Amino acid sequence: VSARSGKKAGHIHPLILAGGSGTRFWPLSRRARPKQFLALGGPRPLIVDTAQRLRGLTTARAISIACGRAHAPQIRQLFPDLAPDRLLVEPVARNTAPAIGWAALRVLARDPNGVLVVLPSDHHVRNPSRFRALLARAVRLCADGTLYTLGIPPTGPETGYGYLKLGAKLSGGAREVRAFVEKPSAAKAARYVASGDYLWNSGIFVFRADAVLAEIRRSLPELARILARIAPAVGTSREARAVERFFPQAPNVSIDYGIMEKAARVATLPADIGWTDLGSFAALAELKRVGRGGNVTQGSCVTIDSRGCLAISHDRPLVLLGVDDLVVVDTGDVVLVVPKSRAQDVRLAVAELEKRKLDKLL
């Protein structure tokens, strides 16, 4: 397909991004235990599911995880077999581009043809085998230097996701990405979905390490300079100190807007894999098995004349009487009550508690 397509396909180097610290699942999630450490989709923490989902595509030993310093101990506990050189502890949070750049340096030092598979740590995928097949295909296709992203066929006019505007058809079922579109208005989202020309941006990326580093040099020269200071230390005993010193100087920028949307060759594989980023309690409720009266409950909950609620109890029963579409979450140290329609505003509660100096609840 391209001049570079003759390159040898490299090994797969998954990178799980666990630096997130969102508040949309407060009070289940806390500063000390962000969403990726919660067992929201099933019995295991989302980050463990993320790693397990790759079984068959790659070995557990090949997986790297990037996270903030505060969460490294939890990562080590959840992944006791994780080799020290597979853990990327970011000294400060600088969004996704710097962490991916650092990871690319590491891959390149080991494997000149190495392919990075970048995975958010807090998503849910209903169909993991199709997911793996698509990743394997993207790994093959990206040998030509194209940056790949999985694109999710929209199931509705979501305003919480970024969208990919599709271009020309490529081989292997891929599509050129013409533009990355930020979270749209409801009207725009409806038009996007109706047009059939848009996919959701999953934030799951597949690219050669050398290709993404080349794009960083092109689009984020500031980050490229920082990486150039770290590169000589990678794989040596000086790496941690170099990262400690230079990483904080990196620009705070995401891979999506810092690199992907400016890159020359970006493609997507439409991925009908039952994906959700579990963006709020409302999204969680949709994922769970719905019980009596359309309510989703966990723990001891009694729902009477109530519909469409999500109730999570702790050490005492929750009794919901005559309420609709309400989220009630008891975590043992705080109880949150919020309508599903306001679930994305949970950050307001976090901000209010911060203002009141109730830090132990954050």
The distance of closest approach from Cβ of residue 157 to a copy of itself in the complex, given in angstroms and rounded to an integer, is 22
Number of residues in contact with a copy of itself under rule CB under 8 A: 35
The distance of closest approach from Cβ of residue 31 to a copy of itself in the complex, given in angstroms and rounded to an integer, is 16
Nearer to a copy of itself among residue 225 and residue 316 (C-beta): 316
Scanning the structure block, which residue is given the tokens 């005559």?
322
The distance of closest approach from Cβ of residue 286 to a copy of itself in the complex, given in angstroms and rounded to an integer, is 19
Scanning the structure block, which residue is given the tokens 């990405």?
177
Nearer to a copy of itself among residue 197 and residue 345 (C-beta): 345
Nearer to a copy of itself among residue 111 and residue 345 (C-beta): 345
Q: What is the dihedral of CA 4, 9, 10, 15, to 10 degrees?
A: 90
Q: What letter represents residue 261's amino acid?
A: E
State which of positions 269-328 bind a copy of itself (CB under 8 A): 302, 304-305, 313, 316-323, 326, 328
Nearer to a copy of itself among residue 128 and residue 339 (C-beta): 339
Nearer to a copy of itself among residue 125 and residue 349 (C-beta): 349
Helical H segments across the chain, by residue range: 46-52, 72-78, 96-110, 128-141, 186-195, 209-219, 221-230, 239-246, 255-258, 281-287, 346-355
The distance of closest approach from Cβ of residue 334 to a copy of itself in the complex, given in angstroms and rounded to an integer, is 5
Among 109, 12, 121, which residue's Cα sits nearest to residue 59? 12
State which of positions 204-233 bind a copy of itself (CB under 8 A): none
Three-state DSSP at 158 gives coil
Q: What is the dihedral of CA 194, 196, 202, 204, to 10 degrees?
A: 180
356 binds a copy of itself (CB under 8 A): yes
361 binds a copy of itself (CB under 8 A): yes
The Cα–Cα gap between 149 and 170 comes to 14
Nearer to a copy of itself among residue 93 and residue 362 (C-beta): 362
73 binds a copy of itself (CB under 8 A): no
Among 55, 53, 52, 49, which residue's Cα sits nearest to residue 35? 49
Longest distance between any two alpha carbons in the chain, whole Å: 66
Scanning the structure block, which residue is given the tokens 């109880």?
335
Could you tell me whether strands 310-312 and 326-330 are parallel, antiparallel, or unpaired per DSSP bridges?
parallel
Nearer to a copy of itself among residue 227 and residue 343 (C-beta): 343
Q: Which stretch binds a copy of itself (CB under 8 A): 59-67, 180-188, 284-292, 348-356?
A: 348-356
Nearer to a copy of itself among residue 196 and residue 332 (C-beta): 332
C-beta separation of 227 from 216 below 8 A:
yes
The distance of closest approach from Cβ of residue 206 to a copy of itself in the complex, given in angstroms and rounded to an integer, is 39
The distance of closest approach from Cβ of residue 144 to a copy of itself in the complex, given in angstroms and rounded to an integer, is 49
Nearer to a copy of itself among residue 181 and residue 353 (C-beta): 353
Task: Pick from 10, 19, 27, 41 the residue near a copy of itself by CB under 8 A.
Answer: 27
352 binds a copy of itself (CB under 8 A): yes
Binding mask 325-344 for a copy of itself (x = CB under 8 A): -x-x-x-xxxxxxxx-xx--
147 binds a copy of itself (CB under 8 A): no
> What is the full DSSP assignment across 283-328?
HHHHHSPP-GGG-EEESSEEEES-BS-EEE-SSS-EEEES-BSEEE
Rg (C-alpha) for the chain, rounded Å, is 21
The distance of closest approach from Cβ of residue 45 to a copy of itself in the complex, given in angstroms and rounded to an integer, is 24
Q: What is the dihedral of CA 350, 353, 358, 359, to 10 degrees?
A: 30
The distance of closest approach from Cβ of residue 351 to a copy of itself in the complex, given in angstroms and rounded to an integer, is 9
C-beta separation of 219 from 147 below 8 A:
no
Nearer to a copy of itself among residue 65 and residue 350 (C-beta): 350
The Cα–Cα gap between 177 and 180 comes to 8
The site for a copy of itself (CB under 8 A) is made up of 27, 302, 304-305, 313, 316-323, 326, 328, 330, 332-339, 341-342, 345-346, 348-349, 352-353, 356, 358, 361
